[in-house]
Amino acid sequence: MAKDVFIGQKEYFKGINKIQFEGPDSDNPLAFKYYDENKVVAGKTMKDHFRFAIAYWHTFCGTGEDPFGPGTQIFPWNGAADPMDAAKEKLDAAFEFFTKMGTPYYCFHDRDMAPEGSNVAESERNLIEITDLARERQEMTGVKLLWGTANVFSNPRYMNGAATNPNFDVLAHAGAQVKAALDATIKLGGENYVFWGGREGYFSLLNTNMKRELDNLGMFLAKARDYARAQGFKGTFLIEPKPMEPTKHQYDFDTATVIGFLNKYGLQNDFKMNIENNHATLARHTFAHEAQVAYDNGMFGSLDINQGDPHNGWDTDEFLHNLYDATELMLIMLENGGFKTGGMNFDAKTRRSSTDLEDIFIAHVSSMDTMARALLIADNIISKSAYTQMRSDRYASYNSGNGAKWIKGELGLEDLAKIAAEVGEPKQISGKQELYESLINKYLK
């Protein structure tokens, strides 16, 4: 066993070596068919296009329990009786996994890495101890932290919200947790810090003062930003929109809603969006829609690249395998400059019934290949087809004459009325949607 894939005292993923690129003809489920990290596409290596990050919670903590039954996964790092010993084993397993996958980043919640203690101080000590070890392992392996976050939704104390809780004492606990998670993220060189407000919303307006709750959330985020900046954090703060689940109505509903919120509370210069595909679906948007809204507003940050199931309405967090959706996303990313500080966090879990340890490798490999293949397809569409030209030609009437004057703000309603009378009934121009669809499908290979 090569040293570069061996982290701690024992090997957890026995029989699996570092995943290699074998090309599209390979039948090996534990090899990349399309993801070739050093391959340059549209001026950047694949590694830099994607900046893949493993989600600590699903991959190492998610045992497959659901509301109808307990976990099904047997993880070899879950044996220790003492929770801190178990956390250390999990950490070693995680870094072995990152190294074998060849993914450059990971993401974590405070409670994924270190167990909650019996009081605030003990919880913080646990987190410091484990993240000190994580820092050593980052140095050993070169794996980096894409983002950290605090789990302020699982503990029952957050049942009525964290930063939006009607009880200030609960808000204070959220503050303690976010402070410690920010410290850990800064210590680990995290490039971003995420806020996902799972309990920040309501079930009934009858008992909810929405304005008070949103004001408290705005204040909380401003204070978190001020604290992190004062500690030297230079990275990006990210809000992860989701319309519902676990609350009926979540305040960070979708990208457009969050942008309005950030602007209202003066947070727009420090915060950007962490867009999750499955959350987009729940908001009845596409991943592509959410990404485009974020880019158009200078708010594109990072991505959680899972996918949902079109036949049900919750966050199934499947590994992204829909090539068509991936292609639409990659078209937008290529046209808008890709990532700055963000990356692609999987935020996905294998199915409850996928119980072989190799399944988590197969899932990540498959998703990375889906994205890599989508990148190649999108690059072909942009560089070889008429796609970009066709779309810009649709707006050609704004390039000169009255259209250009309109864009500059030089025409008022009286001018429009005069022009309308002059031009008469406009010529009918087809939107050609099916032509665009057939063009995409032609390149989908």
Q: How far is the CB of 39 from ligand XLS (least distance, A)?
A: 29
Instruction: Write out the catalytic residue numbers.
Output: 109, 112
Per CB under 5 A, contacts with Ni ion among 314-343 are 315
Q: How far is the CB of 367 from Ni ion (least distance, A)?
A: 14
Neighbouring C-alpha atoms within 13 Å toward the C-beta of 402 = 11
Cβ closer to Ni ion: 92 or 304? 304
Query: Does 183 engage in binding with ligand XLS (CB under 6 A)?
Result: no
Per CB under 6 A, contacts with ligand XLS among 144-163 are 149
Q: Among Ni ion, ligand XLS, none, what binds residue 112 when CB lies within 5 to 8 Å by partner kind? A: none
SS3 363: helix
Cβ-proximal residue to Ni ion, closest one: 304
Query: Does 200 engage in binding with ligand XLS (CB under 6 A)?
Result: no
Whether the Cβ atoms of residue 279 and residue 291 lie closer than 8 Å to each other: no
Binding residue for ligand XLS, selected from 276, 290, 325, 379, defined by CB under 6 A: 276
Read off the amino acid at residue 202.
Y
Q: Among ligand XLS, Ni ion, none, what binds residue 149 when CB lies within 5 to 8 Å by partner kind? A: ligand XLS
For the chain, the C-alpha Rg in angstroms (whole number) is 24
Binding residue for Ni ion, selected from 37, 290, 347, 369, defined by CB under 5 A: 347
Question: Which residue in this structure is represented by tokens 């329990």?
Answer: 65
Element (H, E) at 220: helix 210-230
Binding residue for ligand XLS, selected from 96, 200, 240, 254, defined by CB under 6 A: 240
Cβ closer to Ni ion: 110 or 304? 304
Q: How far is the CB of 149 from ligand XLS (least distance, A)?
A: 5
User: Residue 152's closest CA among 165, 139, 143, 140?
Assistant: 165
Query: Does 276 engage in binding with Ni ion (CB under 5 A)?
Result: yes
Q: How far is the CB of 198 from Ni ion (least distance, A)?
A: 9
Query: Does 112 engage in binding with Ni ion (CB under 5 A)?
Result: no
Q: Among ligand XLS, Ni ion, none, what binds residue 254 when CB lies within 5 to 8 Å by partner kind? A: none
Residue count of the chain, please give it: 445
Q: How far is the CB of 437 from ligand XLS (least distance, A)?
A: 30
Query: Does 112 engage in binding with ligand XLS (CB under 6 A)?
Result: no
Query: Does 304 engage in binding with ligand XLS (CB under 6 A)?
Result: yes
Cβ-proximal residue to ligand XLS, closest one: 196
Return d(Cα 391, Cα 431) in angstroms, integer.
Answer: 10
Q: Rounded to whole angstroms, what are the CA distances from 317 to 60, 64, 238, 277, 347?
A: 15, 12, 19, 9, 7
Q: Among ligand XLS, Ni ion, none, what binds residue 59 when CB lies within 5 to 8 Å by partner kind? A: none
Return d(Cα 168, Cα 404) in angstroms, integer.
Answer: 54
Per CB under 6 A, contacts with ligand XLS among 337-356 are 347
User: Residue 185's closest CA among 126, 154, 144?
Assistant: 144
Q: How far is the CB of 347 from Ni ion (least distance, A)?
A: 4
Classify residue 343 as exposed, middle or buried by CB count within 10 Å of its CB (0-12, 13-18, 19+). buried
205-235 in b/e form (b: 16+ CB < 10 A) is: eeebeeeebbebbbebbeebbeebeeeebeb
247-285 in b/e form (b: 16+ CB < 10 A) is: beebbbbbbbebbebbeebebbebbbbbbbbbbbbbbeb
Query: Does 315 engage in binding with ligand XLS (CB under 6 A)?
Result: yes
Instruction: List, in sequence order, the alpha helices (H) in 385-432.
Output: 387-393, 401-407, 413-423
Cβ closer to Ni ion: 99 or 236? 236
Binding mask 38-67 for ligand XLS (x = CB under 6 A): ------------------------------
Return d(Cα 114, Cα 196) in angstroms, integer.
Answer: 19
Return d(Cα 136, Cα 432) in angstroms, integer.
Answer: 56
Q: How far is the CB of 281 from ligand XLS (least distance, A)?
A: 12
Cβ closer to Ni ion: 112 or 315? 315
Cβ closer to Ni ion: 183 or 315? 315
Strand partners, 302: 274
Cβ closer to ligand XLS: 244 or 357? 244
Binding residue for ligand XLS, selected from 242, 289, 349, 373, defined by CB under 6 A: 242
Cβ closer to ligand XLS: 225 or 242? 242
Going by their DSSP bridges, the two strands 105-109 and 52-55 should be labelled as parallel
Task: Kindly list the residues in this chain that would bind Ni ion in the complex (CB under 5 A).
Answer: 276, 304, 315, 347
Task: Kindly list the residues in this chain that would bind ligand XLS in the complex (CB under 6 A).
Answer: 109, 149, 194, 196, 240, 242, 276, 304, 315, 347
